[in-house]
Amino acid sequence: MSVEKTVQVHKDADEQQVETILRRQSTSDEATELSGIEATAASKAAWLISITVSIGGFLFGYDTGYISSVLVTIGTSLGKELNSSEEELVTSLTSGGALVGAVIAGLTADRYGRKWPIWGACLIFVVGTILQTCAYSLGQFATGRFVVGLGVGSAAMIVPLYIGELAPAKYRGRMIAFNNMSVTFGQLVASALGAGFQHVHGEGWRATVGIGAAPPIMLAGLLFLCPESPRQLVSHGKYEAAEAVLLRIYPTSSSQQRAEKIKSIELSIHEATETMIEESLWTTFKRIFTTPATGRAVLTACCIMAISQLGGFNTLMYYSATLFALVGFTNATAVAITVSGTNFVFSLVNLAVVDRFGRRIILAVTVLGMSICMLVAAVSFHYIPINHDLVLESNNIGWPAVVVLVTIICYVACFSSGVATIAWIGTELIPLEVRAIGTMLNTVTCWSTNIIIASTFLSMMKGITPSGAFGFYCGICFVGWLFIVFCYPECKGMPLEAIREVFQRGFGVRYSKKWQRENKHLAKVTTNTSFGH
């Protein structure tokens, strides 16, 4: 090929790239202009739907909450005392099952909608709960833990995705935050029941586990009252059904506004692919890695999720009773309730501020706070006499134990008011055409990193000492804070159809700030909510 032809080819490629960027910019601007329906009042139905499907979050929370108390009360119910490796096994198996469940839900969500995978998760959760409740061997209990994980992973993947697509933009953060509040409430209820049944004669832990079958049955029944996601309906050509759902969510909207919203959804779909329904899963999956902007969006969501897990929080959920017994508290199960209680209270704080102050500033403040708390805990453990077998060598601990307790409470407060919820709100960053697969990857990130934490905590405590383990978590939180400062854009109040433009410019931190200034009428949180529909 001659030099002139080579130059011409590169010139044509550059012109095509510029044309593509301009077309995407135009599409994003048009989608924003067509989202006038977002300025109308949201109905009571929108909130009730979010509250209903958030029972799925309760399932997640209840499972992670009761294992802490079960580990210290199960005794020889499974035929023998569990050693630390077996405790790590039964704890991490749920995360393994959740990983598989999230993948299955992600692969089916676009073809079968958002509701069917949730129904499937409910059924699986009930089966797993029955297996655990009736277990008299380690193998049966472990199997039940894995099966429950399948249901937990499916629900944890689909519910935030469903809420994010259904929620009005100005309330999206708070509605997804409500799901996380349900997680923390489930953890609190499980901890309280676990502490209560600890004093029941016989094997009270079975009641703690068995009660977990009630919420999925309730969710399965209430889900019949919930509509399908309007974005899913539009993508499958069901425009009348999509308009009916929009009317239910925005009862004061005009028919023109609903038509414009449907058009904006169509634009966001067709801008990326004209045949999303017919597109193979492999093609959709490859799109994440071959389209830079899409890849950055999914990477950002997954990194925040990884921070939420690798930062060490779930060591406190899974092993809080064990940990507090280790530092000398006599009623460790009751003390562990303070962790669940703090987690629940500060999830309410996030619910109140996430749409007002935005995701970025909350993450920056709270993740730095998590890092500082882990550092203080690491230093405090240095003064607690624990040997390599994790046995307390003295009953006179004093101030270090108190500092560890206070520090952990502060850490949980930072976690729950920040990354705990915003990691799941991260689904708003993922473009519609890969949202199910992208959300699946986000959930897989959650459970794969969760497995790492659940299966290594006790081993790390023995291998590198408690100070070393908590110092490691401190480092993870600090690296996460740096990522947030340099790479996490602010997308509060942005219509989902407009968020794709953010990642066309790197990680879009500056662009998102500019958009927030220029579109305050959309980003502003309003309290004008209709309750008449």
DSSP letters for 430-477: S-GGGHHHHHHHHHHHHHHHHHHHHHHHHHHHHHSHHHHHHHHHHHHH
The b/e string for 321-346 (b: 16+ C-beta within 10 A; e otherwise) is bbbbbbbbbeebbbbbbbbbbbbbbb
The 10s digit of each residue's pLDDT in 430-444 is 887 777 788 778 878
| Residue 427 DSSP one-character state | G
Q: Compute CA 242 distance to the chain's CA centroid, rounded to the nearest angstrom.
A: 26
- For residue 186 the two structure tokens come to 């489930």
User: 285: exposed, middle or buried (C-beta count within 10 Å: 0-12, 13-18, 19+)?
Assistant: middle
Report the C-alpha gap between 479 and 463 in whole angstroms: 23
pLDDT string in tens for the chain (533-residue length):
444 444 454 444 444 444 444 444 444 454 455 556 777 777 788 888 888 888 988 988 888 778 878 887 888 888 888 888 888 888 888 888 888 888 888 777 767 778 888 899 999 999 999 999 999 999 999 999 999 999 988 888 888 888 878 888 777 777 877 887 888 898 889 888 887 887 776 688 899 899 999 999 999 999 998 888 888 888 788 888 888 988 888 888 888 888 888 888 887 666 544 444 455 667 777 878 888 888 999 999 999 999 998 998 877 777 776 777 766 666 666 677 788 888 888 988 887 888 788 889 999 999 999 999 999 999 988 888 777 766 666 666 678 878 888 898 899 999 999 998 888 888 788 887 777 788 778 878 888 888 888 788 888 888 888 889 999 999 999 999 999 999 999 888 787 667 778 888 788 888 888 888 887 755 454 333 332 33
Q: Is pTM beyond 0.75 here? A: no
User: 311: exposed, middle or buried (C-beta count within 10 Å: 0-12, 13-18, 19+)?
Assistant: buried
CB 150 within 8 A of CB 100: yes
Report the C-alpha gap between 168 and 50 in whole angstroms: 11
CB 58 within 8 A of CB 109: no
pLDDT of residue 281: 66
CA angle 459, 371, 442 (to 5 degrees): 75
pLDDT of residue 217: 94
First-to-final CA distance of the chain: 67
The 10s digit of each residue's pLDDT in 29-87 is 544 555 567 777 777 888 888 888 889 889 888 887 788 788 878 888 888 888 888 88
The domains of the chain, with CATH numbers, are 37-226+291-523 (1.20.1250.20)
